[in-house]
Homo-oligomer: A and B are copies of this chain.
Amino acid sequence: MILTVTPNPAIDVTYAVDGLAPGASLRVDAPAVRAGGKGVNVARVLTQVGTDALAVVTAGGETGRELAAELATSGLAHRVVPVAGATRRSVALVDRAAGDTTILNERGTELAAAELDALRAAVVELLGAEGPGRVSCLVVSGSLPPGAPAGLDAGLVTAAHDAGVPAVVDAVGPPLLAACAVGVDLVKPNREELVATTGTADPVAGARALLEAGARRVVVTLGPDGMIVVDADRPGDVLRARLPRALRGNPTGAGDAAVAAAAVSLADRTPGQPDLAALLRRAVAWSAAAVLAPLAGELDPAYRALERDVVLTRS
C-alpha cells in the first residue's frame, strides 16, 4: 500500500463562470467541492489505476468536516488527523469564456506542536503495519501549514527509512532541501520549483544540485517538454522523456500523477535499482492523462495507451 501524506490539505471549491470581470457581481451555480491537496490527488490517481493507497490528511473546522465527508464519499481510503484550525479552501474560478482559471489558494492555518506530533505519530503507526496494510512507499506532497518546521517532510522520510520504506517528496525550497539532506528516494520539482529551490535555471544543473544535496533521484517535470530524471548512482546520465505532441487540457494535478507513477515504481520490491526508463515513461503518460482529465487527481483512460507513445532519449 502506498501511503500519501498531505500536511496542508484543502477543500477545492471550483466555480464555472462565463467571463470573470473584476468588480462585477455574478450569479453562479453551486461549485464542485472536492477534497484537495497534492497527496490527496496522488492517492486518487493510485486508487484509479488499482494500486492500494491511503491518504493521511489533517482536518479542522467545518471545512475539515467537508473534507472528511468528501473523502468518504469518494471511496478514498484515508486517515484524518483532527486539528483545531479550519482546513483551508482553494477556490478556482474556471472561466469558460476566456478559457483560463483563476485560483485563490489559502495559506492554511498553523498547527500546534501537539498536532504536528499527532500527524507524525499517525504516519509512524501506519508505517509499522504488517500484512495487507504494509506500506510499500511513502509520498509526502504539497505545502506545509504556516509556521510548520521546514524539516517536517524530512522527518517523515527518516521514519519511512527506519521502517525500510522508500519515500518520495513533492515540495519546494527549504522543506525540499531538508528532505534531500536525509536521502529522500525521489523528489519531483517542476521547472519553477527547481529554480526557486536551487537558483539554477537549467533543469539538468538544478537536478544535479538536488542530488548533491542528498536526493537519491530527481525527476524534473517540464510541462509540454516532458520530464528528465537523474540518479545519484550515475549523476552524469540524464534520461529524458516526452510525448511527440503537446496536449490541451487542465494541467492541475499533472505533477501529482507523475508522483503517483514514481511511487508505483519505487514500491516495486524487485531486487536491484528501480527501472528509471519505465518510471519516466509511466510518469509522462500519467501526467499527460491527468492533463486530459477534467479534475485534478483523475487520469483520462488513455493513460495506458499514452505510455506506448512516450519517446525516451539519453544524454
Residues on A facing B (Cβ under 8 Å):
13, 15, 17, 20-31, 62-63, 65-66, 69, 86, 88-89, 91, 93, 95, 98, 100-109
Tell me if B105 and A26 are in contact (CB < 8 A).
Answer: yes
> A95 to chain B: which residues have CB within 8 Å?
22-23
Alpha-carbon distance between A183 and B304 when the two chains are bound, in angstroms: 68
A28 touches B101 (CB 8 A): no
Closest B residue to A23 using CB positions: B100
Q: What is the copy number of this chain in the assembly?
A: 2
8 contacts between A and B (CB under 8 A): A20-B22, A21-B102, A23-B102, A24-B102, A24-B103, A25-B105, A30-B106, A30-B107
Q: Considering only CB atoms, which chain B residue lies closest to A65 in the complex?
A: B62
> Which interface residue of A86, A88, A106, A108 has the most chain B CB atoms within 10 A?
A106
Contacts known (A62-B65, A65-B62, A65-B65); A26 close to B100, Cβ less than 8 A: no
CB distance from A67 to the nearest CB of B (A): 9
Q: What's the Cα separation between A103 and B30 when bound, in Å? A: 14
| In contact, B30 and A100 (Cβ under 8 angstroms) | no
A29 touches B62 (CB 8 A): no
Which residues of chain B have C-beta atoms less than 8 A from A27's C-beta?
A: 105-107
Q: Are B105 and A30 in contact (CB under 8 A)?
A: no
Q: A30-B106, A89-B31 are in contact. Are A100 and B22 (CB under 8 A)?
A: yes
Quick one: closest B residue to A103, CB to CB? B25
Please pick, from B62, B89, B108, the residue contacting A69 in the complex, using a CB distance under 8 A. Answer: B62
Distance from A99 Cβ to chain B, minimum over Cβ atoms (Å): 9
A63 — which chain B residues lie within 8 A by C-beta? 62
